[in-house]
Structure 1
């Protein structure tokens, strides 16, 4: 079965489960793409725009709401994994430690994980907490690609600058995909580019 950019997300998409322990991961070997990012980076809004649903992923002004690996099944082709947000300073240290252990174990031991899309707020660029996650994914040898969010909140000149700075930083990281996807969930900018990247990953796995 193949997928196209528009058709992949036009069929059924269901929430499957929230995983808090590695032994709770789905056993079906569907390809997976995961979405990671700092708390309040706009991950839930982007996932809703990506899938064309209004409330597939819950949105909240309270950072750190996603505390599990949330699995969504896209037809018979794909799992989308919504990873816990990181960098939320007000979370209890024990909770942060648990999140970090879960994320590391998932990244290191999930062969069907095709790519992590790392969301970066275009207004701020890569921050220190993002750098820690980049290093972790390099260590785990997981392919990842940066997705800039909230580009409607900055000027064209600011966007060009943050794209250039981000590309220069990623060039030093072996597991990073060189292409940066610039998006706005609110304005639906870059959503088709993100969809196309996911479709390309699925097609590559079917060869």
Structure 2
């Protein structure tokens, strides 16, 4: 599961990893919890949003990236994140934890409200650089994942798939999921070509993801 890593050579990628480490070693502060679109923070820094099915590990990944155990709330209850949560990283990048899609133990009216807020956010946020779509390595892309990706494609919202919970899958099965995921993304116009593999438990892929986010932030 080796790729070009943003088109950089080995030395350039090593430098990006170091800059990514410095970026995520800096302060990361909670900015706002946004239940409605009128309460969005003003446009300022580049933003990266984290999306995925409920309980896919979004909050755990944010915590692993920042090296903080309690920055984003984690829960075994699907649908716990019920708003857009903004965190400012080192005065350089905003991280946005989005509500999970798919199953959630809340009323349908509440799910519909979340969808409206996210639709408006994705459609009008000019500072949004990329959406990281988290996919459970044990299951791969499911129908509701593909539906979300189609929405991103239609709106020309750049996204990148990140496989989570890699420690829960045997190496051979993980490689198959990675290959199948890449194949399904190949003809999607808004998809980033690189599929990253991570584990919040073991740290697998965390340094590489930090490097990629540093490169995004450096675009201004």
| TM-score of the pair, normalised by structure 2 | 0.90
For residues 98-120 of structure 1, the C-alpha deviation after alignment (integer angstroms, 9 at most, x for no partner) is 11111111111101000000000
For residues 37-83 of structure 1, the C-alpha deviation after alignment (integer angstroms, 9 at most, x for no partner) is 10110111111000010110111110100010000011211110000
Residue 149 (str. 1) matches residue 149 (str. 2): no
Residue 72 (str. 1) matches residue 87 (str. 2): yes
1:87 maps to which of 84, 102, 111? 102
Q: CA RMSD in A?
A: 1.3
SS in 2 for 1:18: strand
The answer to whether the 8 Å contact 1:104/1:136 transfers is no
Superposition misfits of 4+ residues, deviation over 6 angstroms: none
Pick closer, same or farther for the CA change 1:47–1:179 going to 2, 3 Å.
Answer: same
Contiguous gaps of at least 5 residues in structure 2:
1-17
How far apart in 2 are the matches of 1:140 and 1:91? 27
Aligned to 2:38: 23
1:58-207 map, 5 Å: 58-205=73-220
The answer to whether the 8 Å contact 2:78/2:105 transfers is no
Higher normalized helix content (fraction of residues): 2
How far apart in 2 are the matches of 1:151 and 1:61? 18
Using the TM superposition, name which of 141-150 and 88-97 deviates more: 88-97
How far apart in 1 are the matches of 2:43 and 2:136? 33
Q: How many residues in Structure 1 have an aligned counterpart in Structure 2? A: 204
For residues 148-201 of structure 1, the C-alpha deviation after alignment (integer angstroms, 9 at most, x for no partner) is 000111111101100111001111210000101100000010001110110111
Residue 89 of structure 1, CA deviation:
4.8
How far apart in 2 are the matches of 1:128 and 1:102? 22
